[in-house]
Amino acid sequence: MSDPVETLLRHVGAVQCVDDVVPGGLPGLTCARDAEVLDLISAAQAVVRSAHGILTAAAGELSRRSQGDGESSLSRRMGEKNAALLVAHRAGLSLGEAARLVHVGDAITPQVALSGEDLPPKRTLLAQALAAGSITVALAEVIERTLSAVAHVLWIDQAEALERMLVERAASNTWSVADFITFCKGIPGTLDPDGAEPRGDALRKKAFIRETELANGMLRIVAELDPERAGFWRAALRAKTNPRRNAGPGESSTPGARAADATVPTPMEAKLDALTAILRGSLREDEGRTGGVDTTILVRIDLADLLSGLGVATIDGIQEPISAAAARRLAAEADLIPQVFDGKSVLLDQGESKRVFTKAQRYAILGMFVGCAFPKCDIPSSMAEFHHVGAWATRSKHGKGTDLLNGIPLCGFHNRLMEQGWETVFDEDHEPWFIPPATIDPARTPIRGGNLAHEAAA
Confidence of residue 130 (pLDDT cuts 50, 70, 90): very high
Q: Grade residue 254 by pLDDT with cuts at 50, 70 and 90.
A: very low
pLDDT digits (tens, 9 = 90+) for 180-192: 888 888 888 778 7
Higher-confidence residue of 75 and 295: namely 75
In-domain check, residue 304: no
Angle between helices 83-91 and 95-108 (to 10 degrees): 120
**pLDDT above 80 for 8:** yes
pLDDT at 252: 40
Nearest CA to 384 out of 432, 333, 330 is that of 333
On whether residue 325 sits in a domain, the answer given is: no
What domain range includes position 50?
Answer: 4-202
pLDDT band at 377 (very low <50, low <70, confident <90, very high): confident
Residue 376 covered by a domain: yes
Q: Which of 167, 185, 202 is the last residue of a domain?
A: 202
> Mean pLDDT score of the chain, rounded to an integer?
76
Q: pLDDT exceeding 90 applies to what percent of the chain? A: 19
Q: Where are the alpha helices (DSSP H) in 286-400?
A: 303-308, 324-331, 359-368, 392-397
At residue 39 the predicted structure's pLDDT band, cuts being 50, 70 and 90, is confident
Region of residue 376 (phi > 0: left; psi between -120 and 50: alpha; otherwise: beta): left
Which of 93-102, 137-146, 294-303, 378-387 is least confident? Answer: 294-303
pTM given for the model: 0.48
At residue 261, the pLDDT reads 63
pLDDT of residue 160: 92
pLDDT top residue among 279 and 140: 140
pLDDT for position 399: 41
What is the pLDDT at residue 84? 93
* Residue 259, domain member (yes or no): no
Residue pair 173/42 in contact by the 8 Å Cβ criterion: no
- The b-or-e profile of 114-152 (16+ CB within 10 A means b, else e) is eeeeeeebbbbbbbbbbbbbbbbbebbbbbbebbebbee
User: 298: part of which helix (H) or strand (E)?
Assistant: strand 297-302
Task: Tell which of 202, 237, 264 closes a domain.
Answer: 202
Q: Is 327 among the domain residues?
A: no
Res 5: pLDDT: 85
Residue 100 lies in a domain: yes
Collect all residues with Cβ–Cβ distance below 8 Å to 130 and sequence separation of at least 6. Answer: 4, 52, 53, 56, 57, 104, 108, 137, 140
The tally of domains found in the chain comes to 2
**Cross-strand pairs, 399:** none
If we measure between CA atoms, which residue out of 118, 114, 144, 116 comes closest to residue 130?
144
**Where does residue 389 rank: exposed (0-12), middle (13-18), buried (19+ CB within 10 A)?**
middle
**Spatial distance between the Cα atoms of 105 and 85, rounded to a whole number of angstroms:** 14
Please enumerate in sequence order all residues whose Cβ is within 8 A of that of 80, keeping only pairs 6 or more positions apart, or say none: 86, 89
User: Is 265 within a domain?
Assistant: no
pLDDT at 129: 93
Decide if 333 is inside a domain. Answer: no
Q: Coil, strand or helix: which one is 346? A: coil
CA distances from 36 to 15, 29, 46, 218 (A): 10, 9, 15, 50
Look at residues 202, 228, 260 and tell me which one is the last residue of a structural domain.
202
Q: What residues contact residue 307 under an 8 Å CB cut-off, 6+ apart?
A: 393, 394, 397
64-104 residue pLDDT tens: 999 877 788 899 888 888 999 999 999 999 999 999 999 99
Q: What is the pLDDT of residue 308?
A: 66
User: Cα separation of 396 and 447, whole Å?
Assistant: 28
In this prediction, residue 163 carries a pLDDT of 94
The pLDDT tens digits for 414-452 are 888 888 888 888 887 778 889 999 988 899 999 998 888
